[in-house]
Every structure is written in C-alpha cells, then in structure tokens.
Amino acid sequence: MNYTEKQNNKVYILGKILTKAVFSHEVYGEGFYEMTVSVKRLSGQGDILPVTISERLIDDKKLDVGSTLCAVGQFRSYNKISDGKSRLMLTVFVRELCDEQYEQNPNSIALYGYVCKPPVYRTTPFCREIADLLIAVNRAYNKSDYIPCIAWGRNARFVKNLAVGEKVALSGRIQSREYTKKLSETESKVMIAYEVSISRLAAYDNVDNFDLLSDFGDKTNNLDQKRRII
C-alpha cells in the first residue's frame, strides 16, 4: 500500500463492544472477525457500527463484550449476496488498536475519492437541505471502497453541483440509522444503514488548503508520521 492509499481513508473510533467477535473469513491464512461497537456522538446519542478485526490484533487483547475498543483503521465496503441480490456492506476495518484513548471526537473519518454517482439533492418538509453522495476511494491491489455520504445545508448545496468523476476530500463521522424496508403488502423489516455524515468537504483542486488529518490530532502518528496529502 503506497502513501496515498494510506492517507485517503482514515477512521478513528472509541466505543463499547456490544457483541462477541465472530469469525468472518480468512485471507492468506489470516482470520478476520466481526463485532459491533457502540460509539457515542458528541450529542450523547450513539451509533452502532460494524467492525472487522484481524486475529493477530486480538490474540493478546481482551476484547470482551462491554470492554472498550479504541482503534484506527479504514471504512471499507464489500458486496454480499443475499436472496439472490448483491448488497453493499460496510465495515470499519481495524488496522491498529490504540492503547491510549483520546479526548477528541470518538468517531472521526477522513476520506478523499471520486464521485461515482450523480448526487441526490432534496429538502425536508422543514426546508432542511440534504444531499446524498457516493464516492469511490482507492485501495491497494486495484480495489476500491464505495462509501455513501450525506451532506447538510451549505455542504449539500456544494455537493449537488458535483459531477461524476470529480475528486473530493471530506471529513466527518460514521453514522448508523434505522429504516423500515417493505418486503410485501403485509411484511416489513427494520434495517440499518451506514453512511458518513459530512462536516467538511472540498474539491480536490483545493485540497492543499484542507487539512483532513487535523480531525485526528496526533492519534495517527503511529501509523504514519507525515501530515500531508499527495
């Protein structure tokens, strides 16, 4: 993984483990486990986030239900076939566990990538402006992660004018929200969606004046000492 690929997708979370780590899959002999973690917002509400972690990181750690997880990683996507249909799944992929807990925002994400679908702009009945954005973030081995994002107010007005293929930089937090999916005339199911709630963004042409990593303070220094974006 080159320097750019390490910088274009960074996540920091600090929260309480809600579910036991369950084996998910194996890559080149390395096992990966999944769990859910509750991360509090600054408002006091919580987001329930899916987390994927390597067995080599949990071998000597006590990651029991109810304990605290402090981690740095990436927000990744993958496709899962369910009922014959492909569904986009999202997870916080842990790259390193933190021994020190930071007093800053316990849920921080910084991304830059390409707009891969026309943004969807709308207003609520209370005249609040919202825009949905899907960006593709490059990953090693010619892979990409497809990350749904949501912008509000002035950011939504900026997003609605973005064209497919444009490159943007953004920061914010990962949020979870419940919605009801109608399965038939008599049956429905409560689902959980995950997305990045954007707090700041800029077109890539202006990224030199946009310090994505400032949201992370010094917590990513152990992953990379450089504080810039190529």
Q: Residue 74 and residue 58: Cα distance in Å, rounded?
A: 17
Phi, then psi, of 61 in degrees rounded to 5: -115, 145
Residue that is written with structure tokens 């999202």 in the block: 90
Residue 46 in contact with residue 151, Cβ under 8 Å? Answer: no
Q: Residue 210 has what pLDDT? A: 55
| Residue 224: predicted pLDDT | 43
Q: Are strands 85-97 and 46-54 parallel, antiparallel or unpaired?
A: parallel
Provide the strand spans (E) within 55-187.
68-82, 85-97, 107-115, 120-123, 129-139, 143-152, 167-182
Q: What pLDDT score does 150 carry?
A: 97
Q: What is the pLDDT of residue 191?
A: 82
Rounded distance between C-alpha atoms, residue 195 and residue 46, angstroms? 14
Beta bridge partners of 138: 144
Work out the end-to-end distance of the chain between its first and last CA atoms, rounded to an integer number of angstroms.
14
Task: Print pLDDT tens along the chain (230 aa).
Answer: 554 555 799 999 999 999 999 999 999 999 999 999 999 987 878 899 999 999 999 876 778 999 999 999 999 999 877 667 778 899 999 999 987 666 578 999 999 899 999 999 999 988 999 999 999 999 988 899 999 999 999 999 999 999 999 999 999 999 999 888 777 777 888 888 999 999 999 886 655 555 555 555 544 444 443 323 22
163: Cβ contacts below 8 Å, ≥ 6 apart? 115, 118
DSSP-derived 3-state class of residue 224: coil
Q: Could you tell me which of 184, 182, 59, 165 has the C-alpha nearest to residue 114?
A: 165
Domains of the chain: 3-210 (2.40.50.140)
pTM (2 d.p.): 0.85
Tell me which amino acid residue 225 is: Q
- The pLDDT assigned to 208 comes to 55
